[in-house]
Amino acid sequence: MKNIMKIFKVIAVTVIIVLVMAVVGCDNGSTNDNGKDITLVCLGDSLTAGYGATKPSVVDKSKSYPAYLQKKTGINTVINAGVSGDTTEDALGRVDSDVLFYEPDIVIILLGANDFLHFIRVSTTQNNLQTIIDNVKNGNRKIYLAKFYTDEVAASFIIPIPSDIVDQYDNMFKTLAASNNIELIEDIWTGVWREHMSDIIHPDAKGYEIMADNIYKVMQPYLQTLK
């Protein structure tokens, strides 16, 4: 009888050890290297989707800036909510399904280029972006608003942006960031524009990787607080 009890004890201890090892070694793909359960959604147009990354006129989300940003941040749940050709109005129409559905902790909004290409009034773009921000804000969610241009890009865009329009866009982005207490990503293009492009507007895979670097530099101080 004593031998049988010893055998049961050995089995019980073995089972406990196996269970502990399974829990410790478990990786459900939902935490980053800071041990935080974080979801990041990148809302945007073709610049977010990864248009032209590996082939001209083809979307490759695996080589998009959100994909590279995922590797840099260590956040395992990164949603690429980029749709090529989207205006701010288009993106507003899918905020519920493409952003809020995932209950994200962090949201990056990169929109406005197609508004410009469609000659949409800056005031309309601003109203749409404000509504997107209003819908996304929940008091705790970290929101980044990224400019789709820099001064260099504005001057050499497919349709060069007139200086007065640049001023309007600058005022729009600064006003949105300040009034909503969100962070503005001023420059996604350093090291990308004219250097790593798949066409006259979109980066190639290397360009999207550098774009992710530029965005990560702005996000890094906040990510450090999550450790």
Domain limits of the chain? 30-224
pLDDT at 106: 98
Q: What is the pTM of this model?
A: 0.85
Give the ranges where the chain is alpha helix by DSSP (H). Answer: 2-25, 46-49, 65-73, 88-92, 95-98, 113-117, 122-136, 151-156, 163-180, 205-224
pLDDT at 14: 39
pLDDT at 157: 86
pLDDT at 36: 57
Mean pLDDT by 10 residues, the chain (227 residues): 42 36 34 66 98 96 98 96 98 98 98 96 98 96 97 90 94 98 98 96 98 98 91
The three-class DSSP label of residue 114 is helix
pLDDT at 5: 42
- CA nearest neighbour of 227 among 58, 80, 17, 38: 38
pLDDT at 173: 98
Was domain 30-224 assigned CATH 1.20.144.10? no
Is residue 19 exposed (0-12), middle (13-18) or buried (19+ Cβ within 10 Å)? exposed
Going across the sheet that includes 142-146, the strands are 77-82, 39-44, 106-110, 142-146, 183-185
> Cα separation of 88 and 208, whole Å?
21
